[in-house]
Amino acid sequence: DQQVKQNSPSLSVQEGRISILNCDYTNSMFDYFLWYKKYPAEGPTFLISISSIKDKNEDGRFTVFLNKSAKHLSLHIVPSQPGDSAVYFCAAGNAGNNRKLIWGLGTSLAVNP
């Protein structure tokens, strides 16, 4: 049973436009959510996180929105750049549950010049 779901395996956007990556979760006990970016042949790189007590966190071009009632979070990248082309993973965890992260399957983002 996939507790963290990224239903879009891929996404393609034009440079300069907004990229929106979505993530749904089923476990209401998750209290921390993270986005990681992964380039080929590299390990995942931490991008941005959000705690369940917030509904938005912003860092430069990256903003994560959390809708707890819908058990949904999204990552917005504005403006998108070709260097943002990578696989984006959503991960969730609970601080009281051995801090184990549950990962989605990833969404491959292609930003076209």
Partner 1 sequence: EAGVVQSPRYKIIEKKQPVAFWCNPISGHNTLYWYRQNLGQGPELLIRYENEEAVDDSQLPKDRFSAERLKGVDSTLKIQPAELGDSAVYLCASSISGGAWETQYFGPGTRLLVL
Separation between Cα atoms, residue 86 and residue 44, nearest integer Å: 10
Candidate residues 16, 18, 46, 56; the one interacting with partner 1 per rule CB under 8 A: 46
Tokens of 80: 């998108």
Q: Kindly tell me which residue out of 42, 70, 83, 113 binds partner 1, with binding defined by CB under 8 A.
A: 42
Select 2 or 14, whichever has its Cβ closest to partner 1.
2
The residue count for binding partner 1 (CB under 8 A) is 24
Under DSSP, the state recorded for 58 is E
Two structure tokens written together for 102:
């549950």
Please identify, using beta-carbon distances, which residue of 43 and 113 lies nearer to partner 1: 43
Interface residue with partner 1 among 28, 51, 67, 81 (CB under 8 A) is 51
Q: Is 49 in the site for partner 1 (CB under 8 A)?
A: yes
Angle in degrees, CA 28, 105, 102, rounded to 5: 40
Can you name the residues that pair with 66 across neighbouring β-strands?
73
86/42 Cα distance (integer angstroms):
11
Chain contacts with partner 1 (rule: CB under 8 A): 4, 32, 34, 36, 41-46, 49, 51, 89, 91, 93, 95, 98-101, 103-106
